[in-house]
Chain A
Amino acid sequence: MNDAIDISHVRDAAFTAEVEARSGQKVASCYQCGNCTAGCPAGFAYDMQVSQIMRGVQLGLKDSVLKSRSIWMCLSCSTCSQRCPNNIDVAAVMETLRHMARKEGHITVPKVEKFWLSFLNTVRAFGRSYEIGTMVLYMMRSLRVYTDVDLAPTAFAKGKLGLLPHLTPGGAEPVERIFRRYRERAKREGGRP
């Protein structure tokens, strides 16, 4: 018994087609030169290199791709897209995969999602992002209470962090309404808000 991937069984062509349709990118034109991986600033934190993700999408390996750690660690810096010899917007493919993974409920790196949601919570509450609020929410969510405590003294001393949220003049209600409509729609459509 070996642990070879039985491609005839695992290959999901519909997944490949969906990634292409959602991202607007022709994944088939990737010839695996690896340029995206070569320049990726987050590659050291990936479990599958970005060129391997692209290969996985080509081959329709839905599970390995959507459950990868890499799609959560992508910095969205677009170095890969900028230098792709086949004009593939690789960063757009990574983002598409992240959206698809969330929809399917695969949150391989919860702390990253927790950080994003913490950030968005403050935006929803105040209309603008609020660093301390994001941090506190994030620490509560992730139980990583010591996150960046080393920076706190300098940050406060230099007035880098405002203790109070900066409220949107005219209130944050319009933004709150955007979030509310978004959540309602996401729930209706069966996604993860």
Chain B
Amino acid sequence: MRIGVFICHCGSNIAGTVDCAKVAHIARAYPDVVYATDPMYTCAEPGQAAIEAAIHEYKLDGVVVASCSPRMHEPTFRRTVERAGLNRYMFEMANIREHVSWIGKDMEANTNKAAELVRLAVEKLRNNVPLTAKQFDVNKRVLVIGGGVAGIQAALDCADGGVPVVLVEREATIGGKMAKLDKTFPTVDCSACILGPKMVDVAQHPNITLYACAEVEDVSGYVGNFTVKIRKRATYVDWSKCTGCGACTEKCPSKKSPDAFNEFTGTTTAISIAFPQAIPKKAVINPQHCRQLTKGKCGVCAKVCPTGAINYDMQDEIVTEEVGSIVAATGYDLMDWSVYGEYGGGNYPDVITALQYERLMSASGPTGGHIVRPSDGREPKNIVFVQCVGSRDKSVGRPYCSGFCCMYTAKQAILTKDHIPDSQSFVFYMDIRAPGKMYDEFTRRAIEEYGTEYIRGRVSQIYPNGNGRLTVMGVDTLLGRQVEIQADLVVLAVGIEASKGSPQLAEKLRISYDSYGFFMESHVKLKPVETNTAGVFLAGVCQGAKDIPASVAQGSAAAAKVLALFAKHKLESDPQIAQVDMRRCVACGKCIRCCPFGAIKETEFRGEAKAQVVETVCQGCGLCTSTCPQGAIQLSHATDNQILAEVNALCQC
């Protein structure tokens, strides 16, 4: 073998504490090394050209670059050697920057260590073999999970790009949290008015198939070829017949069903349509509260339905969809704020969440848009808003900022004044986070034009003071004084958490999630939409707190990723995957159980059970290779022989 070695200076990043010329000199003595040099910037165009030239001039069949972390530039140099006619896997990289020059100041020790790392890379390379990627077809359909504004945007953009979309929504209607909002900041335009048309587009788009009241049950396959099982929950209404006329909801005698759409600020009928602009506009029966389903007698809705759509015997149904890519847009839920015993833990009717307050302000809400106290229906005059209830609070396990509460609170304070001109709003806050376009101006408006009193400090306790009002014990840290407000209504900006079931869905999608259930992007800055599973993308709050504009932007970004993926007719699989040695495999099945990607299945080989790696699914993590008791699985490009060659070299250093 003829190996060329390039010891990069990286300006002074490496050369500052490593004698690069000396390392190159030492490397010339390593087995099979026929050429070694020390360029200033190997990754720069002249540096790459020098590698190509050396390959031709010295007839190299392998190259080692000793420079930075392979994370950034391994793909760069692989392309370089490929341009010069080598297989891209006949290349090795030694990290002498992060692992050497940046962490030690002793020039002699650093130089020795760098030389040793180069030696390892050379020994690895001597055991390398050319690998080739395989090509496979792409199923150009996409699954979008979650029909909030992020999912709607992703679905519409994909559909407009000509890609068939399967949109799965857990609730009875799409629209997500945005559909529950009365107005949106910083323009105070009607939420339903701007979201409504998009929801209708979803319903009417020929490329979109919508499953509401449905959840993803199982995901298998790999990028380009996923198989998804979707559970359609029984709605007890045949939606192919239901016209959404509402006759059933008018006549339903069970009127005490909890109204989830209205955040439990009111009650609804056991058969209901979530709200007037619901998409799909179809009726759903709540089986816990339907008299027919709980007591076996009633049947009023079946009698009044003009199309005969009611079906009390309906069962859940599983449908299977084949897609090539998946967008997760599952959004958020409010954290359980009952942990705040000092705020009454949910026992005081006039201490409510901001989302409940949206429903009280909304014309489609339980009070027809009239702000009244849940306890006695009186119009409140003193309204206190408390920020960061379950955000930035380590003591309840929520150290993160929920991102959008500062802004919606300013909006709610403005709207409160519009609804009740003689009211006074007070906002207890720690910091006002308003970095968006026109955001800070908006909060200033709440203060300057609407007279909202912002008080800097947290609230220690809220309690009914026996006079029909709530005593709010707070502080004005700017004054350095304790303050107290006798409030009629207290609105808590309750922090957010990943929507219920997020970790379970992440497991199905084989993507990572953080300790709060938010899905992990592939790279915080440079790959904010991608996940570590190829073909699975993220949109909206499921990845982390963000407001409507950011959610919409990420929805579009996810769609762009899907469309870019589908622009190729064939995809290449990474050849750095596990390989089963059929002769050694005893079919114990340990690899199948340990594989986090479901990439190994049992197969039959000459009448015997054996493990087989599904090449397109395997991510090359290596778990199976270290689990296999027979040593029957080898990870290409990280085989036992290659690793042992490195260990050997290290021991000889």
Contacts and interface: CB of A to CB of B under 8 A. Distances in A.
A132 to B, nearest CB: 36
Interface string B439-456: 000000000000000001
Contacts of A52: 480
Given A38-B473, A39-B473, A87-B395, A33 B458 contact: yes
B293 to A, nearest CB: 44
B457 interface: yes
A49 B482 contact: yes
B395 A37 contact: no
A85 B482 contact: no
Given A37-B475, A38-B457, A86 B482 contact: no
A38 B475 contact: yes
Nearest to A84: B395
Contact of A34 (B394, B396, B475): B475
A129 interface: no
A83 B396 CA distance: 10
Interface residues of A, number: 23
A16 B476 CA distance: 25
Interface in B413-449: 430
A22 to B, nearest CB: 22
Interface string A21-39: 0000000010111111111
Contacts of A36: 460
A26 to B, nearest CB: 11
Given A33-B430, A87-B395, A79 B460 contact: yes
A34 B461 CA distance: 12
Contact of B481 (A35, A49, A83): A49
B457 A33 contact: yes
A96 interface: no
B392 interface: yes
Nearest to A82: B342
B459 interface: yes
Contact of A38 (B392, B393, B395, B482): B482
Given A85-B393, A86-B395, A87-B395, A35 B480 contact: no
A37 B428 CA distance: 14
Contacts of A32: 430, 477
A29 B460 CA distance: 18
Contacts of B176: none
Contacts of A38: 457-461, 473-475, 482-483
A40 interface: yes
Nearest to A29: B394
A86 B481 CA distance: 21
| Max count, chain A CB within 10 A of own CB: residue among B388, B430, B460, B476 | B460
B477 A51 contact: yes
B482 A37 contact: yes
A46 to B, nearest CB: 9
A44 B484 CA distance: 13
A124 to B, nearest CB: 38
A35 B394 CA distance: 14
Contacts of B483: 38
Contacts of A83: 342, 395, 460-461
B571 to A, nearest CB: 48
Contacts, number: 71
A34 B479 CA distance: 11
Contact of B394 (A40, A49, A51, A87): A87
A84 B342 CA distance: 12
Nearest to B472: A38
Interface in B585-603: none
Interface string B361-391: 0000000000000000000000000001000
A32 B388 CA distance: 13
Contacts of A165: none
Given A40-B482, A44-B482, A34 B395 contact: no
A52 B483 CA distance: 15
A62 B296 CA distance: 75
| Max count, chain A CB within 10 A of own CB: residue among B457, B474, B476, B477 | B477
Contacts of B473: 38-39
Nearest to B459: A38
A34 B387 CA distance: 13
Contacts of B477: 32-34, 37, 49, 51
A32 B431 CA distance: 10
Contacts of A79: 460
Contacts of A43: 482
Nearest to A87: B395
Contact of B480 (A31, A39, A49): A49
Interface in A59-86: 79, 83-86
A41 B641 CA distance: 71
A51 B474 CA distance: 12
B460 A51 contact: no
| Max count, chain A CB within 10 A of own CB: residue among B394, B456, B459, B475 | B475
A39 B483 CA distance: 10
A87 B457 CA distance: 17
B384 to A, nearest CB: 13
Interface in A165-188: none
A40 B474 CA distance: 10
Nearest to A51: B477
A98 B46 CA distance: 68
| Max count, chain A CB within 10 A of own CB: residue among B430, B456, B473, B482 | B482
A39 B395 CA distance: 16
A39 B460 contact: yes
Interface string B544-573: 000000000000000000000000000000
Interface string A124-150: 000000000000000000000000000
A38 B388 CA distance: 15
B430 A31 contact: yes
B488 to A, nearest CB: 20
A83 B460 CA distance: 7
Contacts of A35: 457-460, 475
Interface of B: 342, 388, 392-396, 430, 456-461, 473-477, 480-483
25 contacts: A29-B394, A32-B477, A33-B477, A34-B457, A34-B458, A35-B460, A35-B475, A37-B475, A38-B458, A38-B459, A38-B460, A38-B461, A38-B473, A39-B461, A49-B480, A49-B482, A51-B475, A52-B480, A83-B395, A85-B393, A85-B394, A85-B395, A85-B458, A86-B394, A86-B395
Given A49-B481, A79-B460, A83-B395, 9 more contacts: A35-B459, A38-B457, A39-B342, A39-B460, A49-B475, A85-B392, A85-B396, A86-B395, A87-B394
Q: What are the 4 A-B residue pairs with the smallest beta carbon separation, nearest first?
A: A39-B460, A38-B460, A34-B457, A38-B475
